[in-house]
Structure 1
Amino acid sequence: MSETNQLQKVAPILKHYGIKPHFVESFQKVKRIYSDKGVFALKKISPKQGTDFIKHIQYLYQKGFNRIIPIYPTLDGRYAIMNGKSLYYLMPWLPNEIKEDRHEIHQQMFRELARLHTLSVREVTINKEEKSEHYENTIREWETENEFLEGFLEQCEGKWYMSPFELLFCLYYHDMSQALRFSTNKFKEWYETTKDDEKARVVLAHGKLSTEHFLYDDRGYGYFTNFENSKQGSPMHDLLPFLSRTLNTYPKSNEECVDWIYTYFKYFPLKDDELNLLLSYFAYPHGLISIIEEYYKTPNRHERKYVQKLQREYWHLKNTEYIVMRIDEIERQKRLEKEAQAQAQSQSDT
C-alpha cells in the first residue's frame, strides 16, 4: 500500500483522537504513526477480541498493575475504534532500545509476569465431578498413547530391517517411556492431593507471553503489550507455551531457563499441587507421540522428513527433561531442608 493510501486509511481513525498523521510505517498488524502530536502505535484486532481485551486491561489498571503499554482513549472516551470489519486501538510507540543482555530481559519479564499474576490472583469454585472426569479422561488418553508406543515398538523390533525412523524411535523409546511415567505419576499426585478441594487459584494470564511482547521505554522500563489473548486461568497458560517454544532448539543444559522460572517463583510461588500439575503437563512428550502417530498413519511417507521431525522433537524432550529434573531436584532439596529444620527444632524443644 502506498504512503498516500495508508494515510487516507488511518486518518479517519486518528481523527477520533484529535491526531493528524504525517507519515505511516506498517509492521504486520501494527502501524507506526508519525503525527503532529508525536509517534504512536496503531494496532488492528478482530472485534471478537475487543470486549475482553479492554475489560482485562482496565481490570489490571484497577489492581495497580502499570507495566502495560497504555491504551489511549478517544476524545469521547472509547478505547477502540471500529473501522470496516476491524477494531483499532492506539498506544505510544516505545523505542525498545534494549541495553540489557538476553538473560536480564527474560528475568525482568518473568518478574513482571509474577507481579501480574500476584495482583490478579483469585480463588474460584471448581466442580469436583468435572475435575474427576478430566482426570479420568486424561489418564485414559495417556494410557492409550502408551499402549500405542509399546505396540509400535514391538512391531519395529519384529522386523528384519527397520526403516531409519523406526530405528531412531527404538533408540528414543526408553526416554519417552520415562517421560510418560513421570508425567503420569505427577498427574496422579496432583489429583490425589486436590480431589476434595472446592477452590482453585486463577490469574489473568497474558495469553501470548514473549519477549517480542515485552517492550522497553526510553528509561529502560519494560511493559507488556498484546493482551488480546488474555484470559482468566491457571498460571500454566503463560508458563508452558513460553517454555515449550524456548526449548525448541538443539540439545543443551539450559540453566538460564531454570533461573527464569525461579525468578517467577520468587515473586509468585506455586503451591505443591500447582507445581505437580505444571511438571506433569510440561514433561509429557506430546510432540514426539504426535509425530510417531502421524508416521504410522501416513502411507508413502517421506522418510527423511519424518526422521528430521522425530529428531527435533527428541531434542525438545531432552531439553524439557533437563528443566523438569532440575526443578524436581531443587524442590526435593527444599523439602529435605525443611524436614531437617523441623527435626532440629523438635529436638531443641525437648
Structure 2
Amino acid sequence: MSNVNLLEQTTPILKHYSIKPHFVENFGKVQRVYSDKGVYSLKKISPHHGTDFIRNIQYLFQRGYNRIVPVYPTIDGRYAVLHNQNLYYLMPWLPNEEKENRTERHEQLFRELARLHTLSVREVSINKEEKEEHYEHTIQTWEKETEFVDGFIEECERKWYMSPFELLFCLYYQDISQALQYSTRKFKEWYENTKENTKARAVITHGKISPEHFLYDDRGYAYFINFENSKEGSPLQDLLPFLSRYVNTLPKQCEECVTWIYNYFKYFPLKEDEMLLFLSYFAHPGPILRVLEQYHKSSNKNKNERKLVQSLQKQYWLLKNTEYIIMRIEEIEREKKAEAEAAARAKAEAEANASSQDGAQS
C-alpha cells in the first residue's frame, strides 16, 4: 500500500484522537504515524479481540507496573476505534534502538516479566472436582500416548525393512519414552502434593512474550507491547511457550536459558507445586508425538517420507534441547536442597553445642 493510501486510510481514524497525520509508514499490522503532535504507533487488531486487554493494562498500571507502552484514549474516552471492520488503537512510537554492547535483552525481559507477575499475583479458588477431572484426563491421555509409542516401536521392529522414518524413530524411541515417563511422574507428584489445595496463584499473563514485544525508548528503558492476548492465568502460560519457541532450533545446550529462568525465579520464585507442573509440561514430548501420529495415520500414497523425516529430526532436537534445560534445573535444585540441609544441620549442631556449654556453666 502506498504512503498516500495509508495517509488517506489513517486520517479518519486519527480524527478520533484529534491528530492530523503528515506521513505514515507501514510495518504490517502497525503503522508509524508522523503527525502535528508527535510520532505514534497505530495498531490494527481483529474486532474479535475486543478491548478486554485494556482492562489488564489499566489494572497493571494501578498496581504500580509502568513498563507497558500506554494505550491512548480517543477524545470521547474510547481505547479503540472500529474502522472498516477492524479495531485500531494508538500508542507512542518507541525507537527501539538498543544501546551499544547491550547483551542483557533477554535477562531484562525475564526480570520485567517477573515484576509483572509479582505485582499482579493473587490467590484464586480452585474447584477440586474440576482439578481431579483435569488430572485424570491428562494422565489417561499420556498413558494412551505411551501405549501408542510402545506399540509403534513393536510394529517397526517386526518389519524386515524399515522405512527411513521408522528407522529414525527406533533410534529416538528411548529418549521419547523417558520424556513421557518423566513428565508423567512429575505430574503425579504435583497432584499428590496439591490435591487437597483449594487455592492457587494467578497472575496477569502477557500472552505472547517475545523480544519483538519488548521495546526500548530513547532513554534505554524497556517496555512490553502487544497485550492483546493478556489474561489472568498461571505464570507458566508465559514461561513455557517462550522457552519452547526459543529452543526449537538446531541442537544446543542452552545455558543462557537456564540463566534467564533463574533470573525470573530471583524476582518471582515458583512454589514447589508450580515447579513440578513447570517441569512436567516442559518435558512432555508433545511436538514429536504429533509427528509420529501424523506418519502413522497417513496412508502409504499420502506419506511424504522426506518431509516427515525432517519434521521428526527437528522435533527430536527440540526434545533434547529441552532435556538439557530440565537436567540443569534438576541439578541446581538438588544443590540448593543440599545446601539448605547442610545449613540446617550446622545450625542445629551450633544450638546443641551452645546448650551443652550453658548446662556445663550452670
Corresponding residue for 1:271? 271
CA distance in 1, matches of 2:217, 2:271: 34
Deviation at residue 99 of structure 1 after TM alignment: 2.3
Q: Note if contact 2:53-2:228 (Cα within 8 Å) is conserved in structure 1.
A: yes
- The answer to whether residue 298 in structure 2 is matched with residue 259 in structure 1 is no
Aligned-residue sequence identity (percent) comes to 68
1:219-271 deviations in Å (ceiling 9; x for gaps): 11110000000010000110011000000111111100100001100000000
1:271–1:322 CA distance, 2 compared to 1 (3 A): same
Q: Give the CA deviation at 1:28.
A: 1.1
Q: How many residues align?
A: 350
Rounded Cα–Cα distance in structure 2 between residues aligned with 1:345 and 1:319: 40
Aligned to 1:200: 200
Query: 2:155 matched to 1:155?
Result: yes
What TM-score do the two structures reach when normalised by structure 1? 0.98
Q: Deviations over 1:280-330 (max 9, x none)?
A: 000000011110010000012011111100000000000000001101111
TM-score of the pair, normalised by structure 2: 0.95
Shift of 1:100: 5.7
Q: Does 1:328 align with 2:330?
A: yes
Indicate if the aligned counterparts of 2:51 and 2:80 stay in contact, CA closer than 8 A.
no
Is 2:350 the partner of 1:348? yes
Give CA-to-partner distance per residue, 1:114-173, whole Å, 9 cap, x none: 000000000000000110111011011000000010000001111111111111100000
Distance in 2 separating the partners of 1:218 and 1:82 = 31
Q: Which residue matches 2:89?
A: 89
- Which residue of structure 2 aligns with residue 33 of structure 1? 33
RMSD: 1.1
Decide which structure has the larger Cα Rg and report it: 2
In 1, Cα distance between equivalents of 2:252 and 2:100: 23
Structure 2 residue ranges without an equivalent (≥5): 353-362
Residue in structure 1 matched with residue 115 of structure 2 by the alignment: 115
Give deviations 1:91-120, integer Å, cap 9, x for gaps.
111111112667410000100000000000
Deviation (angstroms), 1:349: 1.6
Question: Which residues of 2 match residues 233-312 of structure 1 at below 5 A?
Answer: 233-299=233-299, 300=301, 301-312=303-314
Structure 2 CA distance, aligned partners of 1:52 and 1:101?
38
Q: Distance in 2 between matches of 1:77 and 1:89?
A: 12
Distance in 2 separating the partners of 1:3 and 1:212:
24
Q: 2:156, 2:166 within 8 Å by CA — same for their partners in 1?
A: yes
